[in-house]
Chains A and B, each alone.
Chain A
Amino acid sequence: MYSQGLIGADGRSTESAEFLARFQARIDAEDKIEPNDAMPEGYRRTLIRQIGQHAHSEIVGMLPEGNWITRAPSLRRKAALLAKVQDEGGHGLYLYAAAETLGVSREEMTEELLSGKAKYSSIFNYPTLSWADMGIIGWLVDGAAIMNQIPLCRCSYGPYARAMIRVCKEESFHQRQGYELCMALAFGTPDQKAMVQDALNRWWWPSLMMFGPHDADSQHSDQSMAWKIKRFTNDELRQKFIDATVPQAEYLGLTLPDPDLKWNDAKGGYDHGPIDWSEFWRVVKGQGPMARDRIKARKKAWEDGAWVREAALAHAAKRAARKIAAE
């Protein structure tokens, strides 16, 4: 799960114009860039930041859904949700590894997340208040993530593209399990239907915000597009997402909470009402009920686990010493 709203990358480079032109020619020829290849500092910095934010989003993203694993209302749902949250952890792991090929360690990235220096997708700062949120997150949040992630499989940086191919393969079950969960509620008892409509009302706008600011206000897009780190603009992907989602909501008999949402024949897509960007920036900056709790939970896991990681390293050192002594 991921928002492509890359926040605050510095794509400036100080290399010679000739070097940059040679690099751009490789990118334009769809040549993949691999870890040891020469690359502009700005390209490396942008990637570290984007892959890091992506990885952090997956890891923090385990928490809102993890909130319901112990309360899943059937054993079948419990197994599916657990497997899904586990996948998010795996995605974080693949992505940290992709970032590590650029010369930054997982430990460094983790410390940046825990200190609040690194950002993650704002969507995970919203609380999950009912079981229906599990369905809506799978359907909308993972749905939005898939829109973002499929183009990333063709990203110019080889390790990121390869990680994304694996992520996308696994992700395909997430959206389906979410939608199926929503179906059970939408076609269930009146209470269940009310639960899923309430969840949709709360998650619709944050899901649209996942695509990041409008193109006109997105300062990093141009350079990322030129370097083929990114292949579609925020608004293009958001439009694709809305057009795909509206009929799915209709099938469920649910109402999207936007009175301005209507089909526009001329553009062959839906128009939507204005997005409250002040809320977006508030949540990104860590305001709201969950931001502090999310980081606190990650910090606790990291700190509580320190003695385990230290023990494993200490034992490995003893094993190595014994092996040498035995030889």
Chain B
Amino acid sequence: MVWQALLELADDHLVLGHRLSEWCGHAPMLEEDLALPNMALDLIGTARTLYARAGEIEGAGRDEDALAYLRGERDYRNCLLVERPNEDFAHTMLRQLYFAALMKPYWEAAMGSSDPVVQGVAGKAVKEMAYHIRHAGEWVIRLGDGTEESAARMRDAVAALAIYVDEMFDDSPAALAAAGVLPRRADLRGAFDATIAAVFSGAMLDQPAAPYAQRGGRDGLHSEGLGHMLAVMQSLHRQHPGAVW
């Protein structure tokens, strides 16, 4: 179903945007205290449009907030990568690079969507993702080829996130049913690999060899961290059913 495919896409953006927003006020330097919210706002903005469109197509009267705040962790359909905790700046930048390196070609392909709302989002998001690749990529290069400590942290991030990369390219049944509205993720692996290879060579990093691929996000099988994230995010909204904010 198209609305479910839009929902999983929206979940990716909201969860990652929320993770980035957790940095606000705690970044390594003031300049990043501004850069991280910029990226978070891009993602939250995209999520809002996608939720609204998903709710509209579903036709059950759910708006963006009903979809974001009133579904539990088993109902969230984001890929596992985006819910990974911030850990440190190396993990955060690598997670961002991975996501943007997939989403830039994804939105490029989605510019030909048969759905006008998706087309509109794509035109905006493709530019945002290009900047996220650049911003996160430049940091991955500096951390990978900086000090001994930063290189060790960067390698640690590469090792930790490696098992979540393959799942990003899975197309759920909902996504496959949305052919024509949304692109196939499986087609985008080449573009992703090229982006990552270019950054990693500048960062003196080896391409990750994942011992296995962890999957489950698109079926609502998450890590424990997502439940805590949603508990925080949804607490106030759920305390006041029906209230307008």
Contacts and interface: CB of A to CB of B under 8 A. Distances in A.
A305 B27 contact: yes
Interface in A61-75: 62-63, 66, 69-75
A162 interface: no
Given A89-B30, A96-B30, A311 B25 contact: no
Secondary structure class of chain B's binding surface, majority of residues: helix
Nearest to A87: B34
Contacts of A306: 28
A300 B27 CA distance: 10
A315 B145 contact: yes
Given A83-B41, A315-B146, A90 B29 contact: no
B214 interface: no
Contacts of A66: 24-26
Contact of A74 (B24, B40, B237): B237
B46 to A, nearest CB: 11
Interface residues of B, number: 50
A314 interface: yes
Given A78-B21, A310-B146, A315-B146, 13 more contacts: A62-B24, A71-B236, A73-B245, A75-B48, A76-B245, A82-B21, A86-B41, A181-B245, A192-B243, A304-B26, A311-B146, A311-B147, A314-B146
B25 A85 contact: yes
A188 B142 contact: no
A75 B44 contact: yes
Interface in A301-324: 301, 304-312, 314-315, 318
Interface in B1-43: 14, 18, 21-22, 24-34, 37-38, 40-41
Nearest to B143: A311
Contact of A75 (B29, B68, B145, B240): B68
Interface of A: 59, 62-63, 66, 69-79, 82-83, 85-86, 89-90, 92-93, 96, 106, 131, 181, 184, 188-189, 191-192, 297, 300-301, 304-312, 314-315, 318
Q: Which of A63, A75, A310, A314 has the most CB of B within 10 A?
A: A75
A76 B243 CA distance: 14
Contacts of A318: 145
Contacts of A74: 65, 69, 237, 245
B235 interface: yes
Contacts of A300: 26
A73 B69 contact: yes
B49 to A, nearest CB: 10
Nearest to A303: B28
B153 interface: yes
B146 A312 contact: yes
Contacts of A310: 146-147, 149-150
Contacts of B143: 308, 311
Nearest to B68: A75
B18 to A, nearest CB: 7
B26 A311 contact: no
Contacts of A86: 24, 33-34, 37-38, 41
A307 to B, nearest CB: 5
A78 B44 contact: yes
A310 B150 CA distance: 9
A305 B89 contact: yes
